Amino acid sequence: MFGDARIMERDARLMEMLRRLDDPQWVEFPADYSEAESAASFGRLAAQIGSRFSTRCEIDRDIQDSAQYGRIEVPGDATVRGTRIVVLVSRFRPLAMVAVDNPGAFLSTEEARAEGAVDAGDLEKAEEALVGAGYVAIPEGILADRYDGVTPLSFHGSGEPSWWDRFFGSF
């Protein structure tokens, strides 16, 4: 019962953050965006994640026409259950997300853990690295919610755009 209340309170705070960052004048990155600061912060995060998993992670920083800055993949052979962990970082700092296997492969990291696809300790390593680098992990469930913000999106997907489309998707 207390856990549900804490989750609802956390989710409300995270939605408030998403709405605060949602500025229709700045679709791909915020007004105060610095490529140099983003690169340095992302580099530190990638190093921390690699160190925590004792492996070399695949890194992609070349994401064009997107609010997403980069992607870090922890290979499955470095995790307890053998499933890849993916960390996505938005250009809208401090937003980030952690996914098991790939974004959308599971409804949430909790679902992946319940199905035995990922070890709780591995998720904790990724999330601790995010916090240590100054990022906030937004659960996939929140990002999957229908986008009802103020920015007119040029949405190229099917169905309604989501908060994921706003802060991690392509334009």
- CB-CB contact of 53 with 79 (8 Å): yes
Question: For position 77, what pLDDT does the model report?
Answer: 96
Q: What is the per-residue pLDDT across 94-115, written as a single tens digit (0 to 9) for each?
A: 999 999 998 888 888 888 999 9
pLDDT digits (tens, 9 = 90+) for 126-170: 999 999 999 999 999 899 999 999 998 876 667 788 999 999 987
pLDDT for 139 equals 92
3-state secondary structure of 104: coil
Dihedrals phi, psi of 58, to nearest 5 degrees: -80, 135
Q: Alpha-carbon torsion 47, 48, 53, 58, what sign?
A: negative
Q: Per-residue confidence at 12, pLDDT binned at 50, 70, 90?
A: very high
The residues that bridge with 45 in the sheet, in sequence order, are none
Q: Can you give the pTM of this predicted structure? A: 0.91
Contact status, residue 140 vs residue 68, Cβ threshold 8 Å: no
